[in-house]
Structure 1
Amino acid sequence: MSLRVRAILVYLAIAFGGVWPYLFFVRLSLGWSLINPLVQLPVAFMPAIGAFVVRRWVTREGFVDAGLRLRFRRAWRHWLVAWLMPLGVTALALAGAATAGWWNGDLSPAGGPGGIFLLLMLQVVLTPAYMGEEFGWTSFLWPRLIPGRPRRSVAATGFIWAVWHYPLAYLGYAEFSDHTVSMAVWTIQFMLFEVMLCWLYAKTGSVWATSLAHAGNNMVQGVLTEQLLINGGHLDALRVIICVDLALSLVCIPLVRSKAFTAAPGKAIGLPAADQPTLG
């Protein structure tokens, strides 16, 4: 077994083994709600723990290529994209819902423009909380899963990331009326969103920029679609996910065809050759 494969297996064992049993235990044995942010905290940082353990003790490669620098001065435009892209995806999803006759354009359930601005500020404040997943899935797993094949690797990473979330659909966090169809379109949403995150990582070289976008997905796109389409428009979760998937497709198809996915991830983010992940 190569060092790269062993590193990936150890990482996945920690990411899944530290989260799935925990989720079932706290929900089924302790009765805790998974919507509670304090209950979510160990889940959010388990991928980072896995990546840290592998980098420190399995491969001993260190953290030079981990994307821990902000790189804001060099990539400030893409930082701005990371901040506003989730809002843009939300706007496209709402436009699709309005076209289908599922939404009447009323922003009041979300507090109007003022409420949206507050969510954008909250996105920035909560960015560090999403670093745990990004340090694991985007910074560590994507460059290593299928070396030299960034498009295939982003698809595989997104699929694994989706599966990692599956217990949430059965433990009261996500409510689906039809699990067969809903889980399929939910999985597609994760895979598309991972395209956005990996594109941002390739453009900025910073896991903090992808964490900002991840925060926007949850705190802007997630909250707005829930407030406006589920609470305000009385849609079920499946139709909301379909709207978001279509919006993400419009954004991510051009991204996945871009130059960011034509080179190995290490080269794409501008790392020196010596610092790029080359585990055999």
Structure 2
Amino acid sequence: MLRRLPDLWLFLLVAFGLSWLFALPIWLMDASTSASVFMAMGVAMMFTPTLAVLAVRLRDRRRGDVTTRREWAVRTGLSAGGSRGRMFALVALAWFGVPVLVVVATALSVAFGLLSVDLREFSLFRQSLAAAPGGPPPVEVGVLVIAQIVSMVLVAPVINSIAAFGEEWGWRGWLLPRLMPLGTWRALLVSGVIWGLWHFPLTLRGYNYPELGAWAAPMFIVFCVGFGALLSWLRLYSGSVWPAVVGHGSLNASAGLAIILGDAADPPVFVVAGITGLVGSVLLAVVSALLFKYRPVERPAPATVAA
């Protein structure tokens, strides 16, 4: 049975309320998903779960909670967990393993005939560069492809992890342990659905699946359940939120691989192709299920759930 329901409702109210507030300019301006304001507000939204955690902490302090900052940090996953070595190993696994899953999802999409690639001209990538503000940079597209892929693996995960922390401290650091009394699989499903619903201010505009329009919103929930399960395993197996933060940042850095390799003459349908399509969602769900089966996690202690 869930404990401290008022804290849970306050967390959800702040996270969801602020997400819609931050996204309001997108709706008022009727901004497209490629507009700079859309991207800026999307990044700002990523910090709303962290603000929700802080709101709960402030409320608990005002009502006399004597939990120390160190105890609270441990309970919300800010520490290294039970083993510093395991935490760093899982950070490395998340950093480099997630791009491998992106490559596998891309390869499967090609194998199933769901994605056409252009490895000579990189025409879809070239097209996206031409459509960017200021036009394409005066550099050979092949050089840009190499630079982009290197950045996806080595540089961008670190940069993207800053904003990813804004989400992960809330979703996997604070919320997930409080849902674990429901049972592991129910907690994974509920937390994934909540995460997907929280994206509605963006996905109702067609974000990630522009061909679907508002139907992109329920479609993205499927991805959030699959990827959320993987991030949840990283959080629970390490006892720390940092592997999930890096995994999230690494996904955001490498998810565009299908665009880099795609063929402009036969553009991909992202509903099915790539890591965020059905192929990727199924892959993530299978990998997550195998991890939970062969590397089972320990449930958080009752004190963690009630914090």
TM-score scaled by length of structure 1: 0.83
Provide the rounded CA distance (Å) in 1 between the counterparts of 2:202 and 2:227: 18
Query: Following the alignment from structure 1 to structure 2, what is the Cα–Cα distance between the partners of residues 3 and 200?
Result: 24
Tell me, in whole angstroms, the C-alpha distance in 1 between the residues paired with 2:164 and 2:295.
26
> Highest CA radius of gyration, 1 or 2?
2
Which consecutive residues of structure 1, in runs of 5 or more, have no partner in the other structure? 268-272
CA distance in 2, matches of 1:195, 1:258: 15
Report the CA distance between 1:217 and its aligned residue. 1.3
Match of 2:199 among 126, 144, 165: 165
Deviations 1:1-54 (A, max 9, x none): x8521111000000111112431x201324556653432233111100101111
Q: Share of identical aligned residues, percent?
A: 22
**1:1-280, aligned counterparts within 5 Å?**
4-23=4-23, 25-31=24-30, 36=36, 37-58=39-60, 60=65, 61=67, 62-70=72-80, 72-101=84-113, 102-104=115-117, 106=119, 108=122, 109=125, 111-120=144-153, 121-147=155-181, 149-171=183-205, 173-178=207-212, 182-220=216-254, 222-229=255-262, 234-240=267-273, 241-261=277-297, 263-264=298-299, 266-267=300-301, 276-278=304-306
Amino acid at match of 2:170: G
Shift of 1:170: 2.6
Q: Which moved more, 1:137-146 or 1:228-237?
A: 228-237
Q: 1:176 to 1:225 in 2, by over 3 A?
A: same
Q: Name the CA distance, whole Å, in 2 between partners of 1:164 and 1:182.
A: 13
SS in 2 for 1:126: helix
Q: Corresponding residue for 1:270?
A: none
Spell out, residue by residue over 1:167-203, the C-alpha distance to the aligned partner (whole angstroms, 9 max, x if none). Answer: 2123353343345875444211100111111111122
AA matched with 2:75: D
- Tell me the secondary structure at the aligned position of residue 19 of structure 1: helix
Structure 2: segments with no counterpart, 5+ residues: 126-141
- How many residue pairs match? The answer is 269
Output the amino acid matched with 1:26.
P
CA distance in 2 between counterparts of 1:197 and 1:138 reads: 7
- TM-score (normalizing by structure 2): 0.76
